[in-house]
Amino acid sequence: MKVTEQNRHIYWNPYFGGFLLGLIVLFTFYMTGRGLGASGAMKSTVVAAVDVVAPTHAENNAYYSKFISEDKSPLNNWLVFEVLGILIGGLISGGLSGRIGWKVQHSPKITKRRRLYFALGGGILFGIGAQLGRGCTSGAALSGMSVLSVGGFISTIAIFGTGYLAAYFFRKNWI
């Protein structure tokens, strides 16, 4: 028990993790012809939920209707299954390292409440941005760069570039 307590924040060497992640991207393209993703599954969840609660509204909306088909649920989607896998994989890794537990992680300089507000606001922005940019860091940026897609490089530069530009205004939350 004491050993796991001490090792809670010992992570892999980033080059090792990056190399394995690269092999996963490679394997995904080799198998399916497409890359990884994450935000697409959250989009599918919202589309499915709206389609259940207000089916006519979903069909009349020009955005939801792109992702609704007669013969299958929006949740019957490759990315939704992949995201279920991410949750299982994260649980296995966290479990093996003793990192599982309910927690709000934040800098000691800010309150728990402030952390949660910023997490919610950041999520809303990321949700909007990932629709406009047609994918998030996994789907648009990482998978896109792997096939040398112009859009992949644009997403990467825009996400991280803006992150650096805005970092000053959010510094109290982190350092």
Q: Under rule CB under 8 A, which residues in 9-38 are in contact with other proteins?
A: 9, 11-12, 14-15, 17-36, 38
Q: Which is nearer to other proteins, 55 or 123 (CB)?
A: 123
- Collect all residues with Cβ–Cβ distance below 8 Å to 87 and sequence separation of at least 6: none
Q: Is 110 in the site for other proteins (CB under 8 A)?
A: no
d(CA 24, CA 30): 10
C-alpha count within 13 angstroms, C-beta hemisphere, residue 56: 0
Q: Which is nearer to other proteins, 24 or 52 (CB)?
A: 24
**Smallest separation, CB 69 to other proteins (Å):** 16
Interaction pattern, residues 40-79, with other proteins; x per rule: CB under 8 A = --xx-xxx--x----------xxxx-------------xx
Within 113-152, the residues that bind other proteins by CB under 8 A are 115-116, 118-152
Among 59, 60, 69, 84, binds other proteins (CB under 8 A): 84
Give CA separation, 145 vs 23, 26, 36, 78, 141, in Å: 14, 12, 12, 20, 6
Q: Which is nearer to other proteins, 3 or 64 (CB)?
A: 64
**Smallest separation, CB 120 to other proteins (Å):** 4
Q: Please, which contacts does 53-61 make with residues 24 or more away whose CB atoms are closer than 8 Å?
A: none
Within 153-172, the residues that bind other proteins by CB under 8 A are 153-167, 170-171
- Diameter over CA atoms, the chain: 58
**Smallest separation, CB 70 to other proteins (Å):** 19
Q: Which is nearer to other proteins, 3 or 120 (CB)?
A: 120
Asked if residue 101 lies in contact with residue 8, where contact means CB atoms within 8 angstroms, the answer is: no
Q: Which is nearer to other proteins, 2 or 163 (CB)?
A: 163
- Collect all residues with Cβ–Cβ distance below 8 Å to 35 and sequence separation of at least 6: 25, 28, 29, 138, 139, 142, 143, 144, 146, 147
